[in-house]
Structure 1
Amino acid sequence: MIPTQFTATIWLAFGLVVVALAIGYWLGQRRKQRDVMRFTNMELLEKVAPTRPNRMRHLPVALLLIGLLLFTVGAASPTKEQRVPRNRATVVLVLDVSLSMEATDVKPSRLAVAQEAAKDFADGLTSGINLGLVAFAGTASVLVSPTTDREAVKVAIDRIKLSERTATGEGIYSALNSIETLGAVIGGAEEPPPARIVLMSDGKQTVPDDQDVSNPRHAFVAAREAKAKGIPVSTISFGTSYGTVEIPDQERGGTDRVEVPVDDDSLREIANLSGGEFYTASSLEELTAVYDTLEQQIGYEIRRGDASRLWFLLSGLVTAAGVATALVLRQRIP
């Protein structure tokens, strides 16, 4: 509860007045005690004041002084950090829709769980957030440009279709272009709203080859560009190490079972290069928890706000207690 900053520090000087009052009261009590001790006949003193004064008589004054100190803190306008909803920000959700998302290591399938969690994420974002949706497989498509219309995003999520290959870099570039377009439209003379990309994938990049890190369309290059533009990419590695899918064999007929383990390393590197965070999830509960964390980070910001109300309330309560105690113990207000 103790604030770390004040906006009207001059009022703290009033605390010296409170200290002076406390010292004055203490000196007054000492002088009164000396006057009493001037009685030379101690037997007479015992008859006049047969009992020692109750120390509770000081309680009303102590409460009043504490009330003044609390008022002093409130008057100095203390501030504290407060979590408030953002009124302008842009988020683009980038979803991997490659064939590996058919894997059923996450029941009923990676795709079904990803769709459900993504829709919950859309619903949970604060109203001031513009949310866009990009899907990528061999290429990337902006399914929904950043908007506050959550229903449009959820409808697009339900309509996602899977395709071959994985072009993670294209997904990031499409998201960057979408964010820049919105910023140019609504930014005006002001700076564009803060933005973030949330990338969920389950496997290695295949377009271009994952080892071709110098290719300008590689995900690592895209992540560095996002970093340069101040747009972090938070990545979610979704799935398990034992996922498999059935791929049609065009030559022999039938299908081949292909392993599709998650690729934590590349997604972690994308997050590191862009200044974002890396998460893992292998179930609906874990994926929902990750999205909940991102909602708190994205949808809210920390600001310093006025914290004087509580101090004034405490001051009033303690002062009222001092007055009430004085009336009960001394039948008068000190």
Structure 2
Amino acid sequence: MKLLYPEFLMLFAALLYLYTRNRKPIQLYLALALMIVALSRPVMTRTLHEEKAEGVEAVVALDLSYSMQAADIKPSRLVAAKETVRKLFSENRKNRYALYGFTTNALILSPATQDYALLKAALDSIEEGDILTHGTSLSHLLQKLAQKSVPVENVVILTDGGEEQDADRLIEIAKDSGMRLIVVGMASDKGTLLRDRYGKVLKDTDNALVISRLNPILKKVALQSGGAFLRFEDPDTTAQKIAARLDAVADKSLFSHKERQYRDLFWIPLLAAAGLFLFYFVQIPKKWLLLIPFVTQTSDAAMLDWFYLHEAKSAYHQGDYKAAAEALNHVSSRTLQLAYDKALTAYKMRRFKKALSILDGLETSDARMKFKILSLTGNAHARLRAYSKARRAWQAALIIRRDENLLYNLKAILG
């Protein structure tokens, strides 16, 4: 949008007319009214974007029992499971997910949807401190899903398995209702002690220490239901493996996703209000007013760049990487930070080759930025399984600064 568009010229003409008349309080009232209009964030519908794509519909069930607060998976089983689910949702936008939480009972947190913002809000509503229920019932979860009017075919369960013992019963429920279970084991075989919120070790009724470990029946239940069993590794890797398993075993459906795009108009009444205040309180030679269109012409690009950068940042934090990339493409300035942001957004959209093509041309003497560029370069190469290139990039980054995540990644590819 340009400030010399007709809507701005009309405002400029109106302001010029008001200024040539005697200054009256009505100008102040009009300015306040325009500020109120600006605060209401007026918009104009620009386009209705419809996107059709094949995807998978699945239920994601998250174990919310007290044992999921155990720390044999850092920082806790529940935090790691939530981050895995967040990665799964954000990086597989073509799929449609429903989110459930379960302990001894199951609760739907979000219906089946492709709305990532809704799924993220439901996921963020889960707080460790609010979970007090001891016990996990996979049978209640599967029975609840089996009773749905629309058959559920694909179920992803992130759990430590609790004290569930009747594997045959779980397999029977899954098979009778046609459910394929992809189970992610969110605990270690060795297990760990459970503690209360004050750090005191929990004991059972016989005064024995309570140790929570991975339930061994989970693998049998998952495989015999026609699904898969996965052990938690890290959020990124585990989310990728879940998505790959869903793609391998699930039937795809054609989903239609509609998104209405809007054009923000708040800046028009805001600019008019600022002009009215300026004209009321400041004596400006009338001939200077003729320079305003030329001044705004030069400041237009900077204002639009700020607007698009703000839109890109907001979309990125909401996990809408496509919208973030589109906003960044509208920025007219060419800076190193902008190029890095474009590469990072491409990486988040799983366009690793595009990210590398942007990163390859970036050079800087700033150590902080160089570290970020090398780290992202290594990550992109690793995603493309170019492990030797990833190793070189990460090693170069570690020369600049020690980073535990990079060290972990480096050890992983070196075996």
Instruction: Name which of 182, 187, 204 aligns with 1:234.
Output: 182
1:86 alignment partner, SS class? strand
Q: Considering Cα pairs closer than 8 Å and 6+ residues apart, tell me whether 1 or 2 has the greater RCO.
A: 1
Percent identity of paired positions between Structure 1 and Structure 2: 23
* Pair 1:93–1:236, CA change in 2 (3 A): same
Instruction: Name which of 57, 69, 77 aligns with 1:102.
Output: 69
Residues 194 and 211, structure 2, Cα contact 8 Å, conserved in 1:
no
More strand by share: 1
Residue 275 in structure 1 maps to residue 226 in structure 2 = yes
Pair member with larger Rg = 1
Aligned residue runs from structure 1 range 67-86, under 5 A = 86=54
Residue 168 in structure 1 maps to residue 138 in structure 2 = yes
Report the equivalent of 2:116. 150
1:116 alignment partner, SS class? helix
Aligned residue runs from structure 1 range 1-334, under 5 A = 86-87=54-55, 89-127=56-94, 129-161=95-127, 162=131, 163-177=133-147, 180-181=148-149, 183=150, 195-206=153-164, 210=165, 213=166, 220-248=168-196, 254-256=200-202, 258-263=210-215, 265-297=216-248
Aligned counterparts of 1:230 and 1:299: Cα–Cα separation in 2? 12
Q: Give the deviation of 1:248 after TM superposition.
A: 4.2
Aligned counterparts of 1:86 and 1:137: Cα–Cα separation in 2? 33
Q: Which runs of 5+ in 1 are unaligned?
A: 1-83, 184-191, 214-218, 303-334
1:223 alignment partner, SS class? helix
1:255 alignment partner, SS class? coil
Residues 94 and 199, structure 1, Cα contact 8 Å, conserved in 2:
yes
* Pair 1:258–1:205, CA change in 2 (3 A): closer
Length-normalised TM-score, structure 1: 0.50
Aligned counterparts of 2:91 and 2:249: Cα–Cα separation in 1? 11
2:217 alignment partner, SS class? helix
Aligned length: 192
* Pair 1:259–1:289, CA change in 2 (3 A): farther
1:146 alignment partner, SS class? strand
* Pair 1:93–1:248, CA change in 2 (3 A): same
Residues 181 and 227, structure 2, Cα contact 8 Å, conserved in 1:
yes
Aligned counterparts of 1:169 and 1:229: Cα–Cα separation in 2? 13
Q: Give the deviation of 1:197 after TM superposition.
A: 0.6
One-letter amino acid of the structure 1 residue matched with residue 59 of structure 2: V
* Pair 1:121–1:284, CA change in 2 (3 A): closer
Aligned counterparts of 1:142 and 1:223: Cα–Cα separation in 2? 22
Residues 245 and 258, structure 1, Cα contact 8 Å, conserved in 2:
yes
One-letter amino acid of the structure 2 residue matched with residue 148 of structure 1: Q
- What do the CA deviations read for 1:115-151 (whole angstroms, capped 9, x no partner)? 1110111122343x33111111121111112222222
Q: CA RMSD in A?
A: 3.1
2:73 alignment partner, SS class? coil
One-letter amino acid of the structure 2 residue matched with residue 165 of structure 1: G
Aligned counterparts of 1:122 and 1:245: Cα–Cα separation in 2? 31
Q: Give the deviation of 1:286 after TM superposition.
A: 4.3
1:227 alignment partner, SS class? helix
Aligned counterparts of 1:280 and 1:249: Cα–Cα separation in 2? 27
* Pair 1:289–1:147, CA change in 2 (3 A): closer
* Pair 1:125–1:289, CA change in 2 (3 A): closer
